[in-house]
């Protein structure tokens, strides 16, 4: 009976702690200051709206048409990243370098897309290949998308039109 009461008290105490006192803190890559994520989401949402006006690349009739659509979407993404750069925080150092790395990842991803366009123009069977980041074999878009998701910048995720 005593052990049962003790177990109930421990469970009840645990729930009280979790519900009222536990602070999980920030997730990895989550920015405490919401200034950049809020501004970035607006920039990315505008770019996404422009992007969504294009013909879906996977509905192109041939490789040349697909290359044209992807090239046009690359221009939108390039402008988006250029618009995001001046919004990036400059301090604290760890936050600034994390955002810069994310923007650099975007530029790498766009470079991969440009290479894909070049290859499509000479090879109808060309495949989109992403740069691998670190030990993750899934491609750089995974890092880009993870940062965007953690910071609630859903419009700042990679479009997925060339995969």
120 touches 67 (CB < 8 A): yes
Kindly state whether residue 151 falls inside one of the protein's structural domains.
yes
Domain that holds residue 91: 35-156
Tell me if 106 is assigned to some domain. yes
The overall average pLDDT reported for the chain is 86
CB-based burial, 63-96: b 16+ in 10 Å, e otherwise:
beebbbbbbbbbebbbebbebbeebbbeeeeebe
Q: Is 133 helix (H, G, I), strand (E, B) or coil?
A: strand
Task: Tell me whether residue 119 is in a domain.
Answer: yes
User: How many domains is the chain built from?
Assistant: 1
Q: Evaluate whether residue 88 is within a structural domain.
A: yes
pLDDT digits (tens, 9 = 90+) for 37-62: 999 999 999 999 999 999 988 889 99
- Let me know if residue 109 belongs to a domain: yes
23-46 mean pLDDT: 78
């Amino acid at each position: 009976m005593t052990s049962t009461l003790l177990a109930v008290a421990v469970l009840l105490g645990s729930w009280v702690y979790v519900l009222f006192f536990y602070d999980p803190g920030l997730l990895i890559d989550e920015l405490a200051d919401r200034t950049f994520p809020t501004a970035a989401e607006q920039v990315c949402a505008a770019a996404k709206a422009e992007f969504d006006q294009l013909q879906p690349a996977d509905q192109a009739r041939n490789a040349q048409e697909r290359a044209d659509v992807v090239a046009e979407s690359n221009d939108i993404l390039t402008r988006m990243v250029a618009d995001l750069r001046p919004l990036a925080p400059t301090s604290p150092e760890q936050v600034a370098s994390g955002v810069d790395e994310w923007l650099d990842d975007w530029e790498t991803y766009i470079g991969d897309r440009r290479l894909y366009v070049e290859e499509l123009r000479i090879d109808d069977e060309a495949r989109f290949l992403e740069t691998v980041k670190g030990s993750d074999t899934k491609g750089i878009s995974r890092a880009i998308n993870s940062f965007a998701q953690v910071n609630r910048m859903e419009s700042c995720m990679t479009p997925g039109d060339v995969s």
